[in-house]
Amino acid sequence: MLSFFKEIRIYLGIIFLLISSLIALMYFSLPRGLEDFSLSLPADEEIKYERETIKLGQQNDNGVIKTDNKKVYKQIKVKSQDNLIKILRNENIPDRFIQALVRAKGSERMARIKEGDFVEIVHDFLMNPASISVTSNFIDGYEAIFKNGLFKISKFSRILDKEEIYHSATIEDSLFISGKKSNIPESIIMDLAYIFGWDIDFIYDIRSGDSFELIYEQLYWKGNKVRNGDIISANFYRGENKFSAVRYFQDGKKDYFSQEGNNLKKAFLRSPVEFSYVSSKYNLNRKHPILNTIRAHTGVDYAAKTGTPVRATGEGTVIYRANKGGYGRLIELRHFNEYTTRYAHLSGYAKGLQVGSKVDQGDIIGYVGKSGLATGPHLHYEFRVNGMHTDPLRVKFPNAKPIESKNKEDFTNFALALDLKMNTLKKKLFSSNEEKIEE
């Protein structure tokens, strides 16, 4: 009798192993070769919002967060040549999971990543992907949760916690090095240079002994820092001069203002092309390189590679976008009051840009080329005031939009409150440092 039951147990064990093997074979036999798959989904299809709460722990230097519930979170910043499949393979995600993601409803939206976005992967205790998210700002994006052999994709929205941080530093060498020595994040140092960059040349104007102080935001999700936020307030002391910056939202748009309410940003960028050099300056008596005659050069030429992005130097409206004789492909913008700018010899226009399009300062409007009368790839840039040509390198630019009269009282109170907060945080930091010294 015992022998009979023993045989039954053996047979049952064999059957169990066969069934398990069959299930595993079916699960692992998803086809390879994901390059043949197209991520397609109608753009207007709604995706129902669902989320799974994942408790996160502390992040290490490699962007990996080990969690209390045996899950591991990793954050990858998207580079220029990346795509989602490439990133997942680089992270050793098995093809069967990538295949399941490709097949999931809504996968096309997750595939629309661009440089600077972030891919977040949460692994389970077996190091298989429990969820995959894509986001540009850590606040909203799309998440695919793996459950019962399938990925379910949904849109998410997070409310990030903010902490205000005070820092100060004295310049000993460069702004960047001095800031780093004071443990100020690189992104915040670069933001500070941009905010004050219209009034201070941080290469030539600063001296040893100059100093600055600032308050900036750190953004957290579930107790983990995800990124640095904005500078809220800053003061830069250069000799006996004090430069102040206050972040303020006016008509829904963020800008930085002096304590008097003047916009720190100028209405125009000095150059419409980055990583270029001036190959020909404004000159009303220049000999034309092709026509070989004296012909006024009513703008500035910036030598750059074909395809280099051209940016609008100021907020405005497109009033011309077409070929125009020797200018070749030309864009002309009308700005506020009496200002217009021209961008010539372009190789192409920004997608969707038409006459009547509104552009913001810094928007890409076209690309460097050599259309029209041009000996090589460059941008010809003109700046006109009341229809009269002006040297773009010497013209004094007006400030951008100041605080409007309707917002003046609110801004004044806001700036005073920030000044009080700056002093409070400064005292708190100094008090904390004194306590550490006494210990």
Same domain, 117 and 171: no
48-97 pLDDT, tens per residue? 223 233 333 344 333 444 444 556 778 888 988 899 999 999 998 999 99
Same domain for 150 and 166: no
Looking at every residue in the chain, the average pLDDT score rounds to: 80
Residue 39 has pLDDT above 50, yes or no: no
Q: Does residue 15 belong to any structural domain of this protein?
A: no
Residue 363 in any domain: the answer is yes
Q: What is the pLDDT of residue 9?
A: 62
Residues 103 and 182 both lie in one domain:
no
pLDDT tens for each residue of 242-273: 999 999 999 888 999 999 999 998 888 878 88
Does residue 275 carry a pLDDT above 60?
no
Indicate if 152 and 209 belong to the same structural domain.
no
Residue 1: what pLDDT?
53
Q: What's the number of domains the chain is made of?
A: 3
The pLDDT assigned to 218 comes to 93
Distance (Å, whole) CA 270 – CA 391:
11
Looking at the structure, do residues 196 and 136 belong to the same domain, yes or no? no
Q: Does any domain span residue 112?
A: yes
Q: Which residues pair with 388 in a beta bridge?
A: 385
Neighbour-count burial of 191, counting CB atoms closer than 10 A to its CB (0-12 exposed, 13-18 middle, 19+ buried)? buried
> Terminal CA-to-CA distance of the chain, rounded, Å?
79
pTM recorded for the entire structure:
0.59
Query: Would residue 168 count as lying in a domain?
Result: yes
> The domain that contains 90 carries what CATH number?
3.10.450.350
Tokens 């773009």 label which residue?
Answer: 392
Tell me if 301 is assigned to some domain.
Answer: yes
Backbone angles phi, psi at 173, to 5 degrees: -130, -100
145 and 223 belong to one structural domain:
no
* 297-345 confidence digits (pLDDT tens): 568 888 888 998 999 999 999 999 999 999 999 999 999 878 999 999 9
Amino acid symbol at 340? T
236/172 same-domain check: yes
Per-residue pLDDT at 71: 66
d(CA 382, CA 298): 7
The verdict on residue 132 lying in a domain is: yes
Exposure pattern of 121-157 as b/e (b: 16+ CB <10 Å)? bbbeeeeebbbbbbbeebeebbbbbbeeeebbbebee
Confidence check: pLDDT of 350 > 90: yes
Categorize the per-residue pLDDT at 349 as very low, low, confident or very high, splitting at 50, 70 and 90.
very high
Specify whether 308 is located in the same domain as 375.
yes
Please indicate, yes or no, if residue 414 is contained in any of the structural domains: no
Q: Which of 390, 410, 431 is the last residue of a domain?
A: 390
Sorting pLDDT into bands at 50, 70 and 90, what band is 428?
confident
Residue 134's domain spans which residues? 53-157
pLDDT at 285 over 70: no
User: Within this chain, do residues 198 and 243 fall inside the same structural domain, yes or no?
Assistant: yes
Residues 285 and 381 occupy one common structural domain: yes
pLDDT-derived band at 124, boundaries 50, 70, 90: confident
Name, in order, each residue with C-beta under 8 angstroms of 83's C-beta and a sequence gap of 6 or more: 111, 113
Q: Quick one: 295 and 346 in the same domain?
A: yes
CATH code, domain with 350: 2.70.70.10
Judgement on whether residues 386 and 281 belong to the same structural domain of the protein = yes
Q: Residue 11: which pLDDT band, with cuts at 50, 70 and 90?
A: low
Asked if residues 382 and 282 have their Cβ atoms less than 8 Å apart, the reply is: no
Using alpha carbons, select from 346, 348, 318, 322 the residue that is nearest to residue 332: 318
AA letter at 133: S
Give the highest mean pLDDT range of 24-28, 51-55, 110-114.
Answer: 110-114
pLDDT beyond 70 at 44 = no
Residue 224 pLDDT > 60: yes
> Is 72 part of any domain?
yes
Tens of pLDDT, residues 385-420: 998 888 887 788 888 889 999 999 999 999 999 999
Q: What is the pLDDT of residue 42?
A: 32
